[in-house]
Amino acid sequence: MNKKFVDLTDLYYFWFKYQISNKYSLLKEYKGERPKKQFELMLECKQIELELMPKHTGDYNGQTKAEYTKNYTRVRDIFTKCAGDEEKAIRLARTQAIRITDEHKAINRAMVARQLERVENEPIYESVFEVFFQRAYELGMVTKQDYRDYQLEKLGI
């Protein structure tokens, strides 16, 4: 669960309150000590929250590290079990794809297969990508136009 401890609107509120209390002081003396202290405490909490939160950028393609690792392991297992046999790889990928009911999981596995195909330059990963991409299409994650564009690209049109 990715629950935020400090809402940014609260942080902005205390900053605004601090600015207003200093701006409209009639005696030109500093009266914004309490709002300033509240702002600083909330800012410190937000900084701690950002340091503790896992980073979901870069290599994980919008997935958590655990999801990415699981998808990567599943696709790599297909490759190691098939031992270079493309038909067996397609069969194993179809077996996995049929069991997937979450459209995000299907597209994430397809993207991992695409990434591995680019890195390792193995045509088997392209076949595995097609199976999971088709499953993502069946589940509604991929639009009809995107699937059609992919098929045309594959044909070289």
Tokens 């935020």 identify what position?
A: 4
Supply the pTM of this predicted model.
0.60
Identify the CA nearest to 73 among candidates 107, 40, 116, 36: 116
Residue 95: its pLDDT value, please? 92
| DSSP-derived secondary structure for 85-131 | -HHHHHHHHHHHHHH---HHHHHHHHHHHHHHHHHH--HHHHHHHHH
Position 18 pLDDT exceeds 80: no
Residue 57: its pLDDT value, please? 46
Residue 88: its pLDDT value, please? 92
Q: How far apart are CA 54 and CA 47, in angstroms?
A: 13
* Contact between 61 and 68 (Cβ < 8 Å): yes
* Contact between 103 and 141 (Cβ < 8 Å): yes
In sequence order, what are the residues at sequence separation of 6 or more whose Cβ sits closer than 8 angstroms to the Cβ of residue 90? 127, 128, 131
Q: Which pLDDT tens digit goes with each residue over 40-68?
A: 887 887 777 766 655 544 456 667 788 88
Q: Which pLDDT tens digit goes with each residue over 88-134?
A: 999 999 999 999 998 888 888 998 888 888 778 888 888 899 999 99
Domain ranges of the chain: 8-52, 65-155
Position 37 pLDDT exceeds 90: no
Residue 1: its pLDDT value, please? 39
* Contact between 87 and 109 (Cβ < 8 Å): no
Residue 2: its pLDDT value, please? 47
Residue 26: its pLDDT value, please? 58
Q: How confident is the model at residue 22 (pLDDT cuts 50, 70, 90)?
A: low
Token code pair at residue 61 = 């393609």
Q: How far apart are the first and last CA of the chain?
A: 44
